[in-house]
Structure 1
Amino acid sequence: MITIDPMRLGGALALSSGYLAMCFAIWRARAARNSVPAADADWLVVYASQTGSAEYLAGQTAATLTTGGLSARAVCMSHLEAGALSKSGRILFIASTYGEGDAPDSGARFAGETMDSAPDLSHLHYAVLALGDSSYTNYCGFGRALDGWLAAHGATPLFERIDVDRGKASALAEWQHHIGRLAGTADAPDWEAPSYGDWRIASRALANPGSAGAPLYRIALVPLDGALPVWEAGDLAQLSAPADPEHPREYSIASLPAEGRLELMVRLQRREDGSLGAASGWLCETALDTDVIRLRLRAHQRFRLNGNAARPLIAIGNGSGLAGLRALLKSRIDAGHGDNWLLFGERNAAHDYLCREELQRWLAAGSLARLDLAFSRDQSTARYVQHLVREHAQTLRNWVDKGAAIYVCGSLQGMAGGVHEALTEVLGRETLDALTAAGRYRRDVY
């Protein structure tokens, strides 16, 4: 990955180096489509992950196989080509589902290209662990589609597909049992997730009083023992609600450890019967500052800055998605980087301009190079954040040519698809694919 920060070079050198960098990224993406990774392991564990769960489980799966003396390697689906399937005899797939049955970003090209082909897979033995959320209509849709595609082209299942509803422990234990049998070991340690810690609410404030939308609260939490754990911008907090402790809810973390608190932006949810959501209702209204909040952190590698830390940042989002973007921006600002551009959308400027004072302060200080806002209900024709992408197309192309990374955070319905479509129009599908392959286009949408 390119580590030079082109925006600091200035003038023609910046433009030429950015152009060459993009050409190289496009060439690399094309080359990847025509390459086949070496078969350097008897077992491949292929994962398609959006927030990191599948990646973590793939690592645990490969480790268990290795413990049994087998040669195993975990590989992201974005790095697996159709040709690799013909060279591999044993593959374990761990597939998340994104939105209403779609492949996650890391599996999108495999779903769109490889699964559109008809290879002979009669030599292949496989198994599928499908991760999903039963509250969605197409529960585990991508994992099920993958399983069906493999079987339809002659591959032989090692055991039936296992569907996991929001990380259900019994389903994961079943998968681990099968993996232990394949590895010939029954004494592998359980794949236990980190334990929950005890936290309390330090402050809670309504961030959008008078809004036409659902209330959104900015909530600060601190550990009961006083010691903050370590996390990075882009990471997630998992909360176990007393009314539904078996299915943790995930929220983007809006703050950094150096700020002395863990902040969330939580939209209050109501069911059709008017009752409060189990987790959002507890956090936003029911919990007292004396109540214990059961919370744990989860690294979200695909939304961390990582190799993009020194690159210009284009942050795009709406609503509570500002939480994840705010942490990324704060991290870069604290590191002395001012080449940050935020494109943000909400309903009305008068009621839904989240973090107004802070954003304006950053803009005045030069910590934000640009701030473009779209308030959908402040004019007769609705205007969303994807409209900003199109309106500032040339500026966006210039930023990308100068090495910028694009991070998108917010609602899956409407915003995510609209922004992706706008970026495809502005940059071109080939360029957007190249940015994805280079880790310069990342999304955390829900």
Structure 2
Amino acid sequence: MKFEVTNSPFSQEQAELLNRLLPTLTEKQKIWLSGFFAHFEDADVSTGDSAGQKQLAAAPPVDSARQDASREVTILFGSETGNAQSLAEDVHQKLKDRGFQTTLSSMDDFKPKNIKKVQDLLIITATHGEGDPPDNARSFYEFLNSRKAPKLEGLRFSVLSLGDQSYEFFCQTGKDFDKRLEELGGERFYARVDCDVDFDEPAAAWIDGILSKLEEDKAVNPANEQKILSIQPQTKSQPKLADYSRTNPFKAEVIENLKLNGRGSNKETRHLELSLEGSNLAFEPGDSLGIFPKNAPGLADSIINQMNWKPEDIVTINKQGETLPLREALISHYEITRLTKPMLTQAAQLFSNERLNELLKPGHEEELRAYLDGRDLLDFVRDFSPKEVPSSEFVHILRKMPPRLYSISSSLKANPDEVHLTMGTVRYKAFGRNRIGVCSGQCAERVEPGDFLPVYIHRNPNFKFPSDPDTPIIMVGPGTGVAPFRSFLQEREETGVKGKTWLFFGDQHFKTDFLYQVEWQKWLKDGVLSKMDVAFSRDSAKKVYVQHRMLEKSRDIYQWLEEGASLYICGDEKNMAKDVHQTLTKILEKEGGLNREEAENYLTDMRHQKRYQRDVY
């Protein structure tokens, strides 16, 4: 069709331009323009533009059958520390930018029975503890693995799983979802990807693969494209607050590095203050700080000597071809303090060591599990001395040094351009050698004021305090678990917010381990902190922990919960958090007259309401 001035609303110049453009357009480009103009017609109608209404009325109707042909993408995430949620939000935005219909939700906020209505499902989940789903994925996980789960023949899915290869049940939750969705009749339209702690590259590859697959399907079925492209125009993502991130950390100067414990304490807890000046980084109470640490130089030197390598040998450290001297690479780039089964499996191909091959054979799982627990790379190369292996080949079986996350213990409003950490130094003896934590050891022994640490802000959307100042708050944080609560109370003091707050704190000894004692006492006096109960386990013949203090105050705790209090737990998961959870069920049974199942349901409902949140490790 040729545009003429007499048969169109265009000027002579516009008609000539259109007549030159139209013959050059592909069918796909014409469809895109159709959707693009349809969007603006809709916008004109919504603002009451009469001309827009006339144009829309004159336009040919959209074929409803063609509309129904498009598929909506549902993205569900299960996240403990926020990594899975951040990736899910990234996928969601990229799909929106390409015009796809998408729904984003945590698994907790998704109604499980609606899974029957889902067309294309993307699951992004972490694995917690011993192969368990994160707290905000538990209900959906249990539903999907129950008899109530429906058949899902019409569903297509793909799974991105986050985990840590040093744990036995690596990425187990993602594997379970992947298997179960297939069992229920779903079609895996893109293969599952399992990510180790250094998840950036494999996660990006999965996202690119998903986008390519969906775009490919859209191209195969132009009917999809008609609706998809007419939903909304492509928009630019909002600019980020700062350029510094996990992949581009900020070098923060250390302002203070103090030991908090008194003389004679069995523990070493450090208070670090870092400068964020010039970074434009921001955080809220409940967020964490990621630190990229360095290994102890002595450990790297011992490995090099054991393997008869030269510290100045140049090794390639990534796919981009970057290189470092071997010693520097072992100190700053590679994880050398933990062993994983995949690493041992790759080493077996290099070492030609019969004892190692025997350990990795089926039937030796218990022996292998025991060997991996507590040993590092130096133990390994001493125990399974290989024949000559070049350092350039050996480093390829090592994984990249993962960052360490620490709950932030300060308020940005109270301490502009600063971030504080409360860090317990890990020290222990195993297999004839003294050991020390990578990051905590570095900060305890090799970091002084004036030094710099590469850091980034790790947003934790699953540990957020209520915005309503009248919400009562119960906080349980023994030891370094008290860090986020110091941040929260600093913030409340700075903003003048009132509302009931109750802190349960515990440690070993009152005299040497009462972290931030003066601050808690001041906040109690000023009313920022309403109540505080403490438990010092080594000050009495019978050990007393925070859960014992909670049980003693069961009636008051139950009353606070009935008033709508939010409950926060931070600290050790295997012992403290599990014991506190069991204590809460006992309190609900005792004070609320509930049975065990009803008490668990009560806590589950609190979790769904964001009133029961945990930051555990």
TM range (shorter): 0.7 to 0.9
* Aligned mate of 1:282, from 424, 427, 442: 442
Q: Which residue of 2 aligns with 1:254?
A: 409
Give me the TM-score of the superposition, normalised by structure 2.
0.62
User: 2: distance between equivalents of 1:54 and 1:268?
Assistant: 28
Greater radius of gyration (CA): 2
Q: Which amino acid is the alignment partner of residue 504 of structure 2? A: L
CA contact (8 A) 2:250 2:279 kept: no
Q: 1:439 to 1:330 in 2, by over 3 A?
A: same
Structure 1 residue 370, shift from structure 2 partner: 0.9
* Aligned mate of 1:382, from 543, 550, 570: 543
Q: Which residue of 1 aligns with 2:161?
A: 130
Q: Where do 1:24-423 residues align within 5 Å?
A: 42-117=72-147, 118-184=149-215, 193=246, 195-210=248-263, 213-223=266-276, 225=277, 229-243=281-295, 244-245=332-333, 246-257=401-412, 258-260=414-416, 261-270=418-427, 272=430, 273-334=433-494, 335-423=496-584
User: 2: distance between equivalents of 1:211 and 1:392?
Assistant: 31
Q: 1:338 to 1:309 in 2, by over 3 A?
A: closer
For the residue of structure 1 that corresponds to 2:132, the secondary structure is coil
Q: Which amino acid is the alignment partner of residue 252 of structure 1? A: S
User: 1: distance between equivalents of 2:291 and 2:99?
Assistant: 37
Q: 1:275 to 1:72 in 2, by over 3 A?
A: same
Structure 1 residue 372, shift from structure 2 partner: 0.3
For the residue of structure 2 that corresponds to 1:383, the secondary structure is coil
Q: 1:240 to 1:214 in 2, by over 3 A?
A: same
Q: Which residue of 1 aligns with 2:602?
A: 431
Could you report, residue by residue, the CA deviation over 1:58-106 in whole angstroms, capped at 9, with x for unpaired residues? 1111222233332111111012233222221210100111222211111
User: 2: distance between equivalents of 1:314 and 1:66?
Assistant: 39
Q: Which amino acid is the alignment partner of residue 256 of structure 2? A: S
Could you report, residue by residue, the CA deviation over 1:196-233 in whole angstroms, capped at 9, with x for unpaired residues? 1111111111112346544111111113x556632111
Q: Which residue of 1 aligns with 2:221?
A: none
Q: 1:82 to 1:403 in 2, by over 3 A?
A: closer
Q: Which amino acid is the alignment partner of residue 168 of structure 1? A: F
Q: Which amino acid is the alignment partner of residue 165 of structure 1? A: D
Aligned length: 404
Higher-strand-fraction structure: 1
CA contact (8 A) 2:255 2:450 kept: no
CA contact (8 A) 2:162 2:199 kept: no
CA contact (8 A) 2:195 2:203 kept: yes
For the residue of structure 2 that corresponds to 1:50, the secondary structure is coil
Q: 1:52 to 1:310 in 2, by over 3 A?
A: farther
User: 1: distance between equivalents of 2:279 and 2:161?
Assistant: 36
User: 1: distance between equivalents of 2:509 and 2:475?
Assistant: 20
For the residue of structure 1 that corresponds to 2:286, the secondary structure is coil
For the residue of structure 2 that corresponds to 1:51, the secondary structure is coil
Cα-Cα RMSD: 2.5
For the residue of structure 2 that corresponds to 1:195, the secondary structure is coil
Gapped regions of structure 1 (runs ≥ 5): 1-39
Q: Which residue of 2 aligns with 1:28?
A: none
CA contact (8 A) 2:122 2:158 kept: yes
Structure 1 residue 413, shift from structure 2 partner: 1.7
CA contact (8 A) 2:71 2:119 kept: no
User: 1: distance between equivalents of 2:157 and 2:181?
Assistant: 8
Q: 1:379 to 1:267 in 2, by over 3 A?
A: same
CA contact (8 A) 1:311 1:405 kept: yes
User: 2: distance between equivalents of 1:251 and 1:383?
Assistant: 26
Q: Which amino acid is the alignment partner of residue 321 of structure 1? A: G
Give me the TM-score of the superposition, normalised by structure 1.
0.84
For the residue of structure 2 that corresponds to 1:218, the secondary structure is strand
Q: 1:116 to 1:259 in 2, by over 3 A?
A: same
Structure 1 residue 401, shift from structure 2 partner: 2.1
User: 2: distance between equivalents of 1:73 and 1:414?
Assistant: 37
CA contact (8 A) 2:470 2:500 kept: no
Q: Which of 213-222 and 196-205 deviates more?
A: 213-222
Q: Pick 1 or 2: higher relative contact order, CA cutoff 8 A, min separation 6.
A: 1
User: 2: distance between equivalents of 1:140 and 1:346?
Assistant: 33
Gapped regions of structure 2 (runs ≥ 5): 1-69, 217-235, 296-331, 334-400, 589-598
CA contact (8 A) 1:61 1:179 kept: no
Structure 1 residue 240, shift from structure 2 partner: 0.9
Structure 1 residue 263, shift from structure 2 partner: 0.6
Could you report, residue by residue, the CA deviation over 1:117-136 in whole angstroms, capped at 9, with x for unpaired residues? 34322322111111122233
Moved over 4 A (4+): 191-194, 210-213, 225-228
CA contact (8 A) 1:254 1:263 kept: yes
User: 2: distance between equivalents of 1:280 and 1:308?
Assistant: 36
For the residue of structure 2 that corresponds to 1:174, the secondary structure is helix
Q: Which amino acid is the alignment partner of residue 238 of structure 1? A: G
CA contact (8 A) 2:478 2:505 kept: yes
User: 1: distance between equivalents of 2:71 and 2:512?
Assistant: 56
CA contact (8 A) 1:332 1:338 kept: no
Q: Which residue of 2 aligns with 1:445?
A: 616
User: 1: distance between equivalents of 2:131 and 2:264?
Assistant: 32
Q: 1:264 to 1:390 in 2, by over 3 A?
A: same
CA contact (8 A) 1:231 1:299 kept: yes
User: 1: distance between equivalents of 2:286 and 2:501?
Assistant: 16
Could you report, residue by residue, the CA deviation over 1:311-355 in whole angstroms, capped at 9, with x for unpaired residues? 121111211111111111222233332521001121121221111
